[in-house]
């Protein structure tokens, strides 16, 4: 429940707990989201995923074009925010995501043979396709699609020289400190 005192206490405890796994993020994210936003429909997390994937595509395009002072930091931020929204979707739909499934899917990427080259842009297209499957078909293909989305995101990070887990964990450490009740404009100071 939004603004609940018990949730506020749990949030205070999380402030000093460093995450070390995706499961840790999900646990903290569930409390954080419930406290600041209350129970929300799952589609809102998917909208957030679409927003952040668009930012990632934007950063990729503008870096390739050499315009708008876009840097690798923009890609890292969009990627991590995308995964945080995806993890929130897993929470709101009670989807059991196991890191072993992600590893299995990641390992398949390395062994599958594609007719095209495996570039960063290809990863973005594959992430978008799997995300579209979830949006269009709901729960039916969700199981494989979520693990594949994360696996393709990790592959993208590999190609871009981004440490996926470190960036994800660091981003969550910043996001979890945002206070959307006191600072409804930016969660930090407005």
Using an 8 Å Cβ cutoff, are 95 and 142 in contact? yes
Q: Quick one: residue 68, left, alpha or beta (phi over 0 = left, psi -120 to 50 = alpha)? A: left
pLDDT of residue 143: 66
Contact (CB, 8 A) for 25 and 87 = yes
* pLDDT for res 109: 86
Provide DSSP, 146-171.
Answer: HHHHHHHHHHHHHHHT--HHHHHHHH
Higher pLDDT, 111 or 148: 148
Cα–Cα distance, 149 to 30 (Å, whole number): 20
Q: Output the CA torsion sign for 56, 59, 63, 69.
A: negative
CA–CA gap between residue 168 and residue 83 (Å, rounded):
8
Q: What six digits make up the tokens of 52? A: 């952040």
The pLDDT score that the predictor gives to residue 5 is 87
Q: Is the pLDDT of residue 141 over 60?
A: no
Q: What DSSP assignment string belongs to 94-115?
A: T----HHHHHHHHHHHHHS--S
The domain locations on the chain are 42-167
Mean pLDDT score of the chain, rounded to an integer?
Answer: 91
Count CB-CB contacts under 10 A for residue 39. 9
Kindly report, residue by residue over 48-92, the tens digit of the pLDDT: 999 999 999 999 999 999 999 999 999 999 999 999 999 999 999
Which residue has tokens 């993208």?
A: 156
177 HSE (CA, 13 A, CB side): 11
Give the length of the chain: 190
Question: pLDDT per residue over 5-63, tens digit each?
Answer: 888 899 999 988 999 999 999 999 999 999 999 999 999 999 999 999 999 999 999 99
Whether residue 29 contacts residue 88, with contact meaning beta carbons closer than 8 Å, is answered with: yes
Handedness of CA 31, 37, 40, 43 (dihedral sign): negative
């Amino acid at each position: 429940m939004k603004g609940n005192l018990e949730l506020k206490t749990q949030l205070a405890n999380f402030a000093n707990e460093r995450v070390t796994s995706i499961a840790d993020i999900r646990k903290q994210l569930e409390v954080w989201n419930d406290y600041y936003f209350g129970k929300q429909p799952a589609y809102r997390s998917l909208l957030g995923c679409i927003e952040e994937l668009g930012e990632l595509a934007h950063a990729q395009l503008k870096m390739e074009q050499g315009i708008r002072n876009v840097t690798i930091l923009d890609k890292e931020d969009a990627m991590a925010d995308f995964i945080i929204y995806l993890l929130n979707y897993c929470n709101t739909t009670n989807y059991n995501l196991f890191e072993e499934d992600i590893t299995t899917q990641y390992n398949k990427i390395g062994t599958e043979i594609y007719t095209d080259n495996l570039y960063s842009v290809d990863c973005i297209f594959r992430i978008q396709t799997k995300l579209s499957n979830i949006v269009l078909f709901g729960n039916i293909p969700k199981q494989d699609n979520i693990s594949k989305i994360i696996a393709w995101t990790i592959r993208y990070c590999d190609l871009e020289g981004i440490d996926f887990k470190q960036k994800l964990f660091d981003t969550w450490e910043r996001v979890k400190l945002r206070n959307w009740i006191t600072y409804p404009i930016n969660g930090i100071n407005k």
